[in-house]
């Protein structure tokens, strides 16, 4: 898989409540597409990351971390702007929910541009992946996604609409344009994003299936559903201690894509992917608890709920 996006450094509050009173933060490497890459690699497949980091300590941190996880970082460029960061505020103002607070405007990652998209590399991939975040961070990053999607027909897209980065109208216009011009093989979304894209409709599945072969509808703690070839399969979620939900959707999506790439049947891949997202919410950090097959199977053997 080739993934295009922005790697961010995450500073996760060690105590709950408003950030103004938090004194300690834990540092993690994050960014949706990087999370996808690590999940993908953990399940035994290769992922090349296309993007930019700052030539600063956080940029080196990100590259060394991803390399250590087995992601191919040879196409990540250093940029003179700083690596973007975000803080996670937890349990405030809504208990059990996290809020991401970004410091990323003009960041190295947002300088991703179409010249960074190596044509022969993208053409040679089995799958090209990106998200609504990369469409939102800058014009040039958006153009890079459109270019990459024009070079390879096997595409995967996670809507991941972050309303701190753009308006619902802009998100709808841009994502729908991408999907119309470049329909995907895999579309990963949830009901909130679907409502932004389609407005209030009784059933978002049918209209979304016009743009994808396989649709994954994430249902938060309840699990997720997959729709393909006129079929539907629901994988139930698990009741686990929740520390931080940021990154859970990427864990699900990246695990699913890797397993189907390895030839798993779609339904089993989703059952396993839901375990990946359950494990992910039990810790702070988006990538540290992304599971191997053995981890998922151990969970399934021992946890029955
Ligand atoms: O899905 C998790 C991401 O939201 C997180 O890692 C940060 O990429 C990020 C973003 O832009 O919100």
Question: What 3-state class would DSSP assign to 9?
Answer: strand
Domain coordinates of the chain in residue numbers? 2-302
pLDDT of residue 142: 98
* Whole-number pLDDT of residue 96: 83
Q: What is the signed CA dihedral for 161, 116, 54, 108, rounded to 10 degrees? A: -40
Residues of the chain with pLDDT under 70: 304-305
Per-residue pLDDT of 260-291, as tens digits, reads 999 999 999 999 999 999 999 999 999 999 99
What pLDDT does residue 45 have?
Answer: 98
Placement of tokens 């389609």 in the chain: 198
Decide: 31 in ligand 1 pocket, CB within 6 A: yes
How far apart are alpha carbons 31 and 86 in whole angstroms? 10
CATH for 2-302 (3.40.1190.20, 3.40.190.10, 3.10.20.90, 3.10.580.10): 3.40.1190.20
75 within ligand 1 shell (Cβ under 6 A): no
Q: How many CB atoms lie within 10 A of CB 182?
A: 19
- Kindly give the number of the ligand 1 atom that is closest to the alpha carbon of 250: 1
Instruction: Specify the ligand 1 atom closest to the Cα of 133.
Output: 11
Residue 260, helix vs strand vs coil: helix
How many residues does the structure list for the chain?
305
């Amino acid at each position: 898989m080739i993934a295009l996006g922005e790697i961010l450094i995450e500073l996760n509050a060690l105590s709950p409540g408003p950030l103004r009173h938090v004194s300690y933060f834990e540092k993690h490497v994050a960014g949706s597409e990087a999370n996808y890459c690590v999940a993908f690699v953990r399940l035994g497949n290769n992922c090349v990351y296309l993007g930019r980091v700052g030539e600063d300590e956080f940029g080196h941190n990100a590259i060394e971390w991803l390399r250590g996880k087995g992601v191919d970082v040879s196409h990540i460029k250093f940029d003179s702007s700083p690596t973007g960061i975000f803080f996670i505020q937890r349990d405030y103002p809504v208990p059990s929910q996290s809020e991401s607070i970004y410091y990323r405007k003009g960041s190295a990652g947002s300088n991703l541009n179409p010249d960074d998209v190596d044509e022969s590399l993208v053409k040679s991939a089995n799958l090209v992946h990106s998200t609504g975040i990369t469409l939102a961070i800058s014009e040039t990053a958006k153009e890079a996604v459109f270019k990459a999607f024009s070079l390879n027909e096997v595409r995967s897209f996670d809507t991941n609409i972050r309303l701190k980065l753009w308006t619902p109208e802009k998100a709808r216009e841009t994502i729908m344009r991408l999907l119309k011009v470049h329909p995907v093989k895999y579309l990963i979304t949830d009901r909130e994003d679907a409502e932004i894209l389609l407005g209030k409709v009784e059933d978002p599945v049918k209209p979304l299936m016009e743009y994808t072969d396989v649709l994954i509808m994430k249902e938060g703690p309840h699990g997720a559903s997959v729709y393909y070839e006129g079929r539907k399969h629901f994988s139930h979620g698990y009741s686990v201690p929740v520390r931080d939900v940021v990154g859970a959707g990427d864990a699900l999506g990246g695990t699913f894509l890797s397993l189907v790439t390895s030839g798993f049947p779609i339904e089993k891949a989703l059952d396993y992917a839901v375990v990946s997202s359950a494990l992910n919410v039990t810790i702070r950090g988006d990538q540290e608890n992304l599971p191997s097959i053995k981890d998922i199977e151990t969970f399934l053997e021992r946890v029955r709920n």
